[in-house]
Amino acid sequence: GAGVSQSPSNKVTEKGKDVELRCDPISGHTALYWYRQSLGQGLEFLIYFQGNSAPDKSGLPSDRFSAERTGGSVSTLTIQRTQQEDSAVYLCASSLGLGGVQETQYFGPGTRLLVL
């Protein structure tokens, strides 16, 4: 079946512009995660959605970052007024949402963001 998909695969933007990154989770998965992978760094948790519950936004690095999940499926990560330090690969993952962190998270291929 289809895995997690993300678009665009690459995005180049100018400093100060806003960007939107999209994630389509695996059908039927109620849990959705966003992570950021900066050059030479591990993955950094950003935000977690579970069904209709309030998202866990504890990993968002600043108020320029926001995310939403419409209809419990597709999610959009928005970065406003981008800065060069926002350049990274943004990864989305989904899981069934039945068993917490021990569930296998399935990752998309990521969106590589470059802020000039």
Partner 1 sequence: AQSVTQPDIHITVSEGASLELRCNYSYGATPYLFWYVQSPGQGLQLLLKYFSGDTLVQGIKGFEAEFKRSQSSFNLRKPSVHWSDAAEYFCAVGAPQGYNKLIFGAGTRLAVHP
Contact between 1 and partner 1 (CB under 8 A)? no
Q: What track of x and - describes contact with partner 1 for positions 71 through 110 (by CB under 8 A)?
A: --------------------x-x------xxx-xxxxxxx
**Residue closer to partner 1, measured from CB, 73 or 106:** 106
Amino acid identity for residue 61 in this structure? P
Which value, to the nearest 10 degrees, does the dihedral of the CA atoms of residues 77, 5, 83, 116 take?
A: -150
Query: Is residue 44 at the binding interface for partner 1, with CB under 8 A as the rule?
Result: yes
Distant-in-sequence contacts of 101-104, Cβ < 8 A, 24+ apart? 103/31
| Contact pick of 33, 69, 77, 90 for partner 1 (by CB under 8 A) | 33
Of positions 7, 20, 56, 66, contacts partner 1 by CB under 8 A: 56
In DSSP notation, 63-83 reads TTEEEEEGGGS-EEEEE-S--
Shortest distance, CB of residue 89 to partner 1, whole angstroms?
Answer: 10
67 binds partner 1, rule: CB under 8 A: no
SS3 per residue for 5-49 = EEECCEEEECCCCCEEEEEECCCCCCEEEEEEECCCCCEEEEEEE
Residues that bind partner 1 (CB under 8 A): 3-4, 31, 33, 35, 40-45, 48, 50, 56, 58-59, 91, 93, 100-102, 104-110
